[in-house]
Amino acid sequence: MERQNGPWIIKSTESRYKDAFMELQVDQVIKPNKEEGTYATLQMKSGVTILATNSKGQVYLTKQFRYAIGEESIELIAGGIDKGEEPLVAAKREAKEELGIEADEWTQMGVMHLETSIVKGPVYLFTAHHLHCTDTDPDDTEDITGFKVSLQEAVEMVMHNKITHGPSCVLILKAAHPNPPEGRASPSHSPEGQTVL
């Protein structure tokens, strides 16, 4: 059955590849100019990114080898959302798994899209404060090194391309902004900037 997607009409959708992290779909479409054609999109597993700050104002970063870029990447805590899992629950799980961090205070900082023309896979952003350290529980394929820097140092790392992971860049710059946005509803229906425990 045909369905509308903005000015596009989708006639049919075919799944070309699917695994636990992504699905490649090819749509037969009628373009806004009325011509027929195809449009491929990549449905990515939704994710979370967490900026955890200790009582000294230091930010926790991670360093690990990333297969797709073939080199080590410095990032905030980040990971995927499991099926049926709420973003906040996923954020708490990832913080504990990667760096053994638990927090008393969590604040939702909005959402970002990795790439808006062909990729669908929102990443939900959180800050965490009042931290407690516990044991880590990384995935079998993860070899993660954690370290701490000041928020200003993290900003400098973004500006000098030492941190290039998109969600980490966005969240660090949001957290460093003197007047972060308030009252904007994110897709999870919690106002951006709202503390969620």
Question: Each residue of 109-138: b (16+ CB within 10 Å) or e?
Answer: bbbbeeeeeeebbbbbbbbbeebeeeeeee
Q: How many residues does the chain have?
A: 197
Res 188: pLDDT: 41
Is the pLDDT score of 180 beyond 80?
no
pLDDT in tens, 159-176: 999 999 999 999 999 999
36-44 and 119-120 beta bridge pairing: parallel
CATH superfamily for 47-196 is: Nucleoside Triphosphate Pyrophosphohydrolase (3.90.79.10)
Report the pLDDT averaged over residues 135-146: 78
Given pLDDT bands bounded at 50, 70 and 90, which one contains residue 181? Answer: low
pLDDT in tens, 83-105: 999 999 999 999 999 999 999 99
Given pLDDT bands bounded at 50, 70 and 90, which one contains residue 193? Answer: low
Which segment of 95-99, 142-146, 185-189 scores lowest on mean pLDDT? 185-189
Say which residue, 197 or 79, is predicted with more confidence.
Answer: 79
Res 189: pLDDT: 41
Res 1: pLDDT: 86
User: Cβ distance 55 to 47 under 8 Å?
Assistant: no
User: Cβ distance 181 to 112 under 8 Å?
Assistant: no
Report the pLDDT averaged over residues 148-160: 98
CA-nearest of 52, 48, 47 to 154 is 52
Work out the mean pLDDT of the chain and round it to a whole number.
Answer: 91
